[in-house]
Amino acid sequence: MEQDNLSVVLHSQGDLRLEKRPVPEPGPNEVLLQMHSVGICGSDVHYWQHGRIGDFVVMKPMVLGHEASGRVVKVGSAVKHLQVGDRVAVEPGVPREMDEFFKNGRYNLSPTIFFCATPPDDGNLCRYYTHSANFCYKLPDNVTFEEGALIEPLSVGIHACRRADVTLGSTVLICGADLFPERLAMAKELGADFQLTVKRGDGPQQLATRVENMLGDQPHITIECTGVESSIQAAIYATRSGGVVVLVGLGSEMATIPLINAAVREVDIRGVFRYCNTWPMAIAMLASGKVNVKPLVTHRFPLEQAVQAFETTRQGLGIKVMLKCDQNDQNP
Ligand code: 572
Ligand code: ZN
């Protein structure tokens, strides 16, 4: 086996380095993966640019990356369901304790969870990476490595829809932060029926009215992905009585929101923290062709060019930037 484990390591704010690290040994319940495709997330860029997200501060060098897929090259002694050669998608959040959250199935809420590329836990933007075998999911032959890596961001969407009780016939408003024309065009191409661009000076109640006029009725559900106070306000006003607002975007800790308006109209406001139990459904959605995430990948860089890839993401060029970690296979 090749012994070079080139890794993308963030040392401190602004100090991103490519360095060679030892190839790790899998523990009894782990697998060693040869990484294939790893997407760059906004949080990877945020840690690079700011050295922290909220209370999570980069205090020692940390490998970035949490949207990942790879091939099993070694299995731990106790691993039953995976074999050398299997192609897998990596779920980056692995609970460390069988606490009450683990036992009731909501392990994403466990305060001691391991999470790739959240300080102090290393991510998987490298050539070789060990991970809990139970959090590696075998990919069917008709699901590519890049689709496997995109299961992570897809999971955020699946979990948000579950939290919001989205079902057949639901009308859903999605509040997004991106005003880049390329991103809006992609949203339309991949399924958005209507789009409304916020104008400077639009108040939250005016915006809610514009949404209703556009849709012909108020949405049952709003998925708020900006974390911006004015957008959360608009989300509440826009949502139909008896409906649900889920908060996916994270902004500042405090926000002034029309809470009593929500209360008297029985609009439920629900939080979302990452995801849990989404990989099997995401794989089924991709394998069946019910969702198409392939057009989201607009840029690819070999792992050796990680700094250029991060710079491309920082500039907001394109949509999903993929790093290709296998020197002998740079295919999707
Ligand atoms: O794909 C998972 C993911 N989670 C993000 C951001 C990007 N990608 N989160 C935002 C930051 N929070 S946090 O609670 N934290 C740093 C642990 O502020 C987690 C979720
Ligand atoms: Zn992410």
Predicted confidence at residue 1, as pLDDT, reads 53
Q: Is the pTM of this model over 0.95?
A: yes
The reply to whether 180 falls in a domain is yes
**Ligand 1 pocket check for 187: Cβ under 6 Å:** no
The reply to whether 284 falls in a domain is no
Ligand 1 atom nearest residue 115's Cα = 17
Residues 70-124 pLDDT 10s: 999 999 999 999 999 999 999 999 999 999 999 999 999 999 999 999 999 999 9
Determine the distance separating the centroid of ligand 2 and the alpha carbon of 116, expressed in angstroms: 10
The reply to whether 331 falls in a domain is no
Cα–Cα distance between 115 and 117 in angstroms, integer?
A: 6
- 58 and 193 inside one domain: no
Query: What is the percentage of the chain residues whose pLDDT exceeds 90?
Result: 97
Average pLDDT, the chain: 97
Give the pairing of strands 244-247 and 268-271. Answer: parallel
What is the CATH number for 255? 3.40.50.720
Ligand 1 atom nearest residue 153's Cα = 1
Cα–Cα distance between 134 and 29 in angstroms, integer?
A: 8
Would the pLDDT of 2 be above 90?
A: no
- 131 and 231 inside one domain: no
- 10 and 136 inside one domain: yes
- What is the sign, positive or negative, of the torsion defined by CA atoms of 306, 308, 312, 314? positive
Residues 126-142 pLDDT 10s: 999 999 999 999 999 99
- 202 and 307 inside one domain: no
Would the pLDDT of 55 be above 80?
A: yes
What is the CATH number for 308? 3.90.180.10
Let me know: does 76 contact 27? Beta carbons within 8 Å: yes
160-175 mean pLDDT: 98
The reply to whether 111 falls in a domain is yes
- 142 and 107 inside one domain: yes
Would the pLDDT of 3 be above 80?
A: no
- 133 and 162 inside one domain: no
DSSP code of residue 246? E
- 145 and 164 inside one domain: no
Ligand 1 atom nearest residue 54's Cα = 18
Domain count, the chain: 2
**Ligand 1 pocket check for 118: Cβ under 6 Å:** yes
The reply to whether 283 falls in a domain is no
Residue 24's nearest CA partner among 73, 70, 60, 67 is: 73
- 124 and 10 inside one domain: yes
**Ligand 1 pocket check for 53: Cβ under 6 Å:** yes
**Ligand 1 pocket check for 181: Cβ under 6 Å:** no
- 120 and 82 inside one domain: yes
Ligand nearest to the CA of 57: 1
**Ligand 1 pocket check for 216: Cβ under 6 Å:** no
- 171 and 256 inside one domain: yes
**Ligand 1 pocket check for 56: Cβ under 6 Å:** yes
The reply to whether 287 falls in a domain is no
Cα–Cα distance between 169 and 313 in angstroms, integer?
A: 35
**Ligand 1 pocket check for 156: Cβ under 6 Å:** yes
Residue span of the structural domain in which 267 resides: 158-271
Ligand 1 atom nearest residue 250's Cα = 10
- 55 and 110 inside one domain: yes
The reply to whether 277 falls in a domain is no
Residues 169-201 pLDDT 10s: 999 999 998 888 999 999 999 999 999 999 989
Cα–Cα distance between 210 and 203 in angstroms, integer?
A: 11
